Amino acid sequence: MAQRDITDEREYLEDRRAWRERGLSRRELLRAGAAGALLLGAGGVRLPDALAQAPAPPIVKPLPPEWFIPIGTNAEMRWEAMAGQGYLTPAARFFVRNHTATPRIDPRTWRLRVFGSGLRRPEGVELSLRDLHALPSERRVAFIECAGNGRSFFASQQGTPATGSQWGLGAVGVAEWRGVPLGALLDRAGISRRAVDVLPEGLDATVVSNGVDQGHVRRPLPVGKALDDVLVAYEMNGAPLPPDHGAPARLVVPGWVGIASIKWLGRIEVADRPLFSPWNTTQYRMTGGDYPADSPPLTAQQVKSAFELAPGATLPAGRRLVLHGRSWSGATAIRRVDVRIEGDPRGGTRRALLHGPNVPRAWVRWTVDWRPPGPGAYALLARATDRAGTTQPDAVPFNTNGYQFWAVARHPVTVA
């Protein structure tokens, strides 16, 4: 874990510097431009040239270092940023996972096209944001969690590093989403009984990987899930969706891998046959390790837990502590959480007290009391069981892309 911290810190500083050069200073440039100062910096770069060369930063919202760890085009939420927060993750603290970069979309010209062989009239319909707002809406509290959340634990805890963004446990957040049920939208578009798959597609830039353009981010959903509890959301926690989280509209697919919840929705194809994209064929399936070659596309997320503490946090000695955490499951609500403290000779496992809402496919908050026996190094281990009876294991089988690490995670702390 210590290793990971150092790496992250370095990554963080590098990313921050790069972003400042490309992004933040761009805003400063604009301000300088408005003030009429056209000569900039030691190089004396002229403003229009500087602007032409500066690519937009991948994430639009501010990323205060006390809340986020930048990882490439993504930003991980620091779990200590949830300490003292309410049930929902504020949008300003919500993790961001971008395959490319947050696009700026004009809500006045935005259109959502629904079409395909799975509709009675394949040419389908086109909706403006105004059309979408005019349809009956619902509110749904649900987490969005990246399939790769926890990936760094394959290295730090199981000694088998997996490729991809080295997330800790902060690629998850819970929000109240408001929007139109996808089922109602598809009804309106005239979905036929022969429909099999629904393919939502994002308006962000196409993804180029190893020199190959894979097209826009898109991932088919079986029609059963699409008609069940999926929302075409335009609000997050009672405010319009922020740009980084999919404005003006995104899919919210409760309980499923984050990639299902396509942001910046532009098109939805409904087909009378199975559909494929790189995001349900080569990616977001279990590969390597002991998995068979044809493992199915990932769907629901697993059972997980996190403490609202920084890894390696220092806790005060000589008093009773209240440790806070949250647990969640992609299948249902949480039944119980057990916390063990490694290094405490009085050992034992204590049952955490669950507090407040316990929404299926969101999370539950919990606390556990602990009086450290003395100064030293300890590790906190939380193990949740959901209402389907699924319990976090001690270890999980390895997969090459490091998806769905859901074993009990060791959280090191120092008592001083």
Ligand X SMILES: Nc1nc2c(c(=O)[nH]1)N[C@H]1C(S)=C(S)[C@@H](COP(=O)(O)O)O[C@H]1N2
**Cα–Cα nearest to 399, from 391, 408, 407, 411:** 407
Buried b (16+ CB within 10 A) or exposed e, 258-292: bbbbbbbbbbbbbbbeebebbbbeebbbbebeeee
Residues numbered 69-128 forming contacts with ligand X, rule: CB under 6 A? 94-99
174: partner contacted, choices ligand X, Mo ion, none (Cβ within 5-8 A by kind)? none
Strands lying side by side in the sheet with 363-370: 303-307, 321-329, 363-370, 353-358
Please choose which of Mo ion, ligand X, none residue 280 contacts, taking the beta carbon within 5 to 8 angstroms, the exact cut-off set by kind. none
Report the distance separating Cα 358 and Cα 388, nearest Å. 14
CB of 20 to ligand X, least distance (A): 22
Over the window 165 to 204, marking each residue x when it contacts ligand X by CB under 6 A and - when it does not, the resulting string is -------------------------------------x-x
Tell me how far apart the alpha carbons of residues 255 and 268 are, in angstroms, rounded to a whole number.
20
Degrees, nearest 5: CA angle 377-77-356: 85
Pick between residue 110 and residue 406 the one whose CB is nearest to Mo ion: 406
Contact flags string 89-128 toward Mo ion, x per CB under 5 A: --------x-------------------------------
* C-beta of 40 vs 205, nearer to ligand X: 205
# residues near ligand X by CB under 6 A: 18
Shortest distance, CB of residue 38 to Mo ion, whole angstroms?
A: 42
The residue number whose beta carbon is nearest to ligand X equals: 202
Tell me the C-alpha distance between 179 and 251, whole Å: 9
Which CB sits closer to ligand X, 91 or 339? 91
* Contact flag: residue 404 with ligand X (CB under 6 A): no
CB 66 within 8 A of CB 81: yes
Residues 6+ positions from 264 with CB-CB distance below 8 Å = 103, 105, 202, 203, 204, 246, 247, 249, 250
Binding positions for ligand X, 128-157, rule CB under 6 A: 144, 146
Token output for 80:
């200590």
Considering only the stretches 257-265, 283-291, 360-368, 390-398, report the one whose residues sit in contact with Mo ion under the rule CB under 5 A: 257-265
Q: Which of Mo ion, ligand X, none is residue 204 near (CB under 5 to 8 Å by kind)? A: ligand X
Contact stretch for ligand X (CB under 6 A) within 1-9, 82-90, 256-264, 300-308: 256-264
| Distance separating the N- and C-terminal Cα atoms of the chain | 19
> What pairs with residue 71 in β-bridges?
74
Which of ligand X, Mo ion, none interacts with 226 (beta carbon under 5 to 8 A by kind)? Answer: none
Given 69, 114, 129, 146, the residue binding Mo ion (CB under 5 A): 146
Name, in order, each residue with C-beta under 8 angstroms of 384's C-beta and a sequence gap of 6 or more. 303, 304, 305, 327, 328, 329, 334, 336, 337, 338, 391, 392
Helix (H, G, I), strand (E, B) or coil at 167: coil
Does 258 engage in binding with Mo ion (CB under 5 A)?
Answer: yes
Give the footprint of ligand X on this chain (CB under 6 A): 94-99, 144, 146, 202, 204, 217, 245, 258-259, 261-264
Give the footprint of Mo ion on this chain (CB under 5 A): 97, 146, 258-259
